[in-house]
A and B are shown apart, each in its own frame.
Chain A
Amino acid sequence: MKKILNGLFYFLKFLLLIGAFGLTLFILVRMNIRLDKSVTTIIPEIVPFILILLVFIINFIFKQKGVTDNVFYNITCCLVFTTIIVASLRAIFDTNMVLNKKYGYGIDFNFFDNFIAYIKIMVYGLSIANLFLMFREKDKDEKPKKEKKA
């Protein structure tokens, strides 16, 4: 049961990461177009997403079970990306937010702008937690191999 649940969240976190990244990128690009700014100015905002994707790829390639088999970490990843998706969708579709209509861009940049700091905190946090958890598992993996050799 735990394995099935973990597998589900492990798969889901990749899908949600794509969704969260896509929506964030869409809103950030639209924000920059509105302000006539260069697209390169959004790089600091997309760095955490690229970083966490790299960390996930490393986890996958080196089969770091401390992260890949960690249900709590996978659930947290899903929760973080779901939160980013919900906030992004609200910035686009929640017409009860008055500035959405006022500025006439179809996106409430004012609301999303407040959320960028939280996105950075959460996604950088996940990357850092991943680094700590991947070290732990290496130690556990090594032990049985040594015992077998002996």
Chain B
Amino acid sequence: MKKILLEYANIIGYTITGLIFGLSFFLLFINFYHSQELSYVADVSEYNTINKDTVSQKIATIRANLSVYNQANYSGNLNIYGLNTAQIKLEECLKIIESPEMMAYFEKKEIQLKDSYNFAVDFKNKILNDCLVMQVKSMFNTDTVSKLPNFDIIKPYVELSLNNLLSSSAYVQADLENADHYFFNTNGNRTNFFDLVNDSYSNIMNDYQDSLDLLVEISAWFKSIVIGG
């Protein structure tokens, strides 16, 4: 009886050791695989060149639209305090967009997961927060700007676009943060479904372009009221 019990103890001992061997083997190799996944490098040289040209064109358009107003020469009937506020706020936005930190992303030839994440964070902090919320949203809440023509037409459009932009990139950042956990992103998955590095970067870049489109629209409104008034 004792012998049988000890034989069973032996079998159980080996079974547990075997299971632990399997688990640790799996964890060790999933760690190597995961670290390789996270160090994946994506080529974005062509994509960035195209985006850089588009951004440069949009910045030039905004600058041209803003330059139609000069307080020293202005002889129209509109409230100059409102026009000054709008011009200053939009110029502040341009400074943020043209800052070396933001333009550096267009110079990148290759990106890694951390570059996509940094882009998502900088886009949120600088473009969404510092530019769109602190400058554009606050501009549309000032008394002087609210007295400008067509304010009631442009304001709902700006607010809707702002709300969409503010909520659009949050999930991308969360996805990138979740990449710290073990996951199975095979090459097939990367090609057919979602490439965490490349697609996250593209997603943020699209939001970046949408933000610039919004600023182009606001500057066009500004130009039209200056010329019209």
Do the two shown chains form a genuine complex with each other?
yes
Chain B residues, Cβ within 8 Å of A75:
21
Size range of the chain B interface in the assembly? 20 to 34
Kindly state whether residue B14 has any CB partner on chain A within 8 Å.
yes
Q: Does the CB pair A121–B117 fall under 8 Å? A: no
| Cβ-defined partner of B2 (8 Å) among A83, A102, A115, A139 | A139
Contact A132 B16 (CB under 8 A): yes
Known contacts A79-B25, A94-B35, A136-B10; decide if A126 and B182 are in contact (CB<8 Å): no
A43-58: CB near B (< 8 Å → 1, else 0) gives 0000000000000000
Whether A72 contacts B17 in the complex (CB less than 8 A), given A99-B177, A111-B181, comes out as yes
B17–A99 touching, CB < 8 Å: no
Contact B35 A118 (CB under 8 A): no
The answer on a CB contact under 8 Å between B28 and A98 is no
A109's nearest neighbour on chain B, judged by CB, is B180
Q: In residues 103-130 of chain A, which contact B (Cβ within 8 Å)?
A: 108, 110-111, 114-115, 118, 121-122, 125-126, 128-130
Main secondary structure of the interface of B (DSSP, over half): helix
Measured CA separation A98–B38 after assembly (Å): 9
Contact residues, B1-56 vs A (CB, 8 A): 2-3, 6-7, 9-10, 12-14, 16-17, 19-21, 23-25, 27-28, 31-32, 35, 38-39
**A101, CB-defined interface residue at 8 Å:** yes
Which of B6, B27, B181 has a CB less than 8 Å from the CB of A118? B27
A76 interface hit (Cβ, 8 Å): yes
Instruction: Give me the 4 closest cross-chain CB pairs, A-B, nearest first.
Output: A132-B13, A96-B38, A129-B16, A133-B13
Q: Are A83 and B182 in contact (CB under 8 A)?
A: no
**Cβ of B90 under 8 Å from chain A:** no
CA distance A86 to B31 in the complex (A): 8
- For B181, the closest partner residue in chain A by CB is A114
Q: Is A87's beta carbon under 8 Å from chain B?
A: yes
Cβ-defined contact, B180 with A136, below 8 A: no
| Pick from A82, A99, A129: contact of B180, CB under 8 Å | A99
Residue of B9, B16, B21, B35 touching A136 (CB-CB under 8 A): B9
- Assuming the contacts A80-B20, A114-B181, A136-B9, asked whether A90 and B25 have C-beta atoms less than 8 A apart, the reply is no
Report A-chain residues with C-beta under 8 Å of the C-beta of B12.
Answer: 132
Contact A101 B114 (CB under 8 A): yes
Quick one: given A96-B39, A98-B113, A139-B2, are A125 and B16 in contact (CB under 8 Å)? yes
